[in-house]
Amino acid sequence: EAGVAQSPRYKIIEKRQSVAFWCNPISGHATLYWYQQILGQGPKLLIQFQNNGVVDDSQLPKDRFSAERLKGVDSTLKIQPAKLEDSAVYLCASSSLQARNTIYFGEGSWLTVV
Amino acid sequence: KQEVTQIPAALSVPEGENLVLNCSFTDSAIYNLQWFRQDPGKGLTSLLLIQSSQREQTSGRLNASLDKSSGRSTLYIAASQPGDSATYLCAVGGAGNMLTFGGGTRLMVKP
């Protein structure tokens, strides 16, 4: 079974530039999560989708972050414009409706804003 | 708002030691608690999941306990090995399967 795929793995951009990260969850998983993990901290949930609907985006900085999951499969997280404090690993995860508590994480997309 | 704290932040032990990692949370109204392992440059791998009605779970050399009323969980690692070196994260599950993570404990097991 293929895992959660994320790209790009690494990205360096200047502040005020934009960046987009892509995630393809495990096939059949209805729920998709984006987490932000700043170095030395635990992951923080940014947004949770169930199919193509948003379940929770209360911690998503909506003035600069956006995310979509148009067809209920893969998802894109965008940051525009980026700030220095956005430097972090962006982790995508997915779970099935039948086994909600079993969450599979991708390896993350590492962002450095300079 | 749920807050999760892990102590210690870092731990270095010689191989073969038994060790305990601690996790505390502020809101006892939880659905479950999970322990994850994170290797450098990698994603998270779930180690143990304890439902709110359970007191502990075991997998091999790992044992996790949950005391909901006191807002505490511990992860016990028996006979530690260098391959156990990683960051261990505690995550509390709330409504809608929302996970709130602690800051993690970075474990180094020296040969």
Reported as a single tens digit per residue, the pLDDT across B12-24 is 999 999 999 999 9
Whether A77 and A98 have beta carbons less than 8 Å apart is answered as no
Task: State the average pLDDT over residues B34-47.
Answer: 92
Compute the distance between CA of residue A63 and CA of residue A82 in angstroms, rounded to an integer: 11
Cα of A106 to nearest chain B Cα, Å: 5
pLDDT in the model for residue A1: 63
∠ at Cα B102 (B101, B106), nearest 5°?
A: 120
Chain A residues close to B91, C-beta within 8 Å: 42
Q: Beta partners for A81?
A: none
One digit per residue, the tens of pLDDT, for chain A of length 114 reads 679 999 999 999 999 999 999 999 999 999 999 999 999 899 999 999 999 899 999 999 999 999 999 888 999 999 999 999 999 999 999 998 888 788 999 999 999 999
In this structure, the dihedral spanned by the alpha carbons of residues B52, A50, B101 and B87, taken in order and rounded to 10 degrees, is: 110
Nearest CA in chain A to B32: A101
pLDDT in the model for residue A52: 87
pLDDT in the model for residue B41: 84
Whether A106 and A34 have beta carbons less than 8 Å apart is answered as no
- Percent of chain B scored above 70 by pLDDT? 100
Let me know how long chain A is.
114
Whether B105 and B11 have beta carbons less than 8 Å apart is answered as yes
Chain B residues close to A31, C-beta within 8 Å: 97
**A96 and B CB contact within 8 Å:** no
Q: Hey, which residues 28-57 in chain A have their CB within 8 Å of chain B?
A: 31, 40-45, 48, 55-56
Residue B98, pLDDT > 90, answer no
Compute the distance between CA of residue B67 and CA of residue B53 in angstroms, rounded to an integer: 10
Res. B96 pLDDT band, cuts 50 70 90: confident
User: Which positions in chain B have a beta carbon within 8 angstroms of at least one beta carbon in chain A?
Assistant: 4, 6, 32, 34, 41-46, 49, 89, 91, 93, 96-104
Chain A residues close to B103, C-beta within 8 Å: 40-42
Whether A4 and A93 have beta carbons less than 8 Å apart is answered as yes
8 Å CB contact of A40 and B91: no
pLDDT in the model for residue B68: 94
Instruction: For tokens 């505490």, name the residue.
Output: B72
pLDDT in the model for residue B94: 87
Task: State the average pLDDT over residues B55-75.
Answer: 96
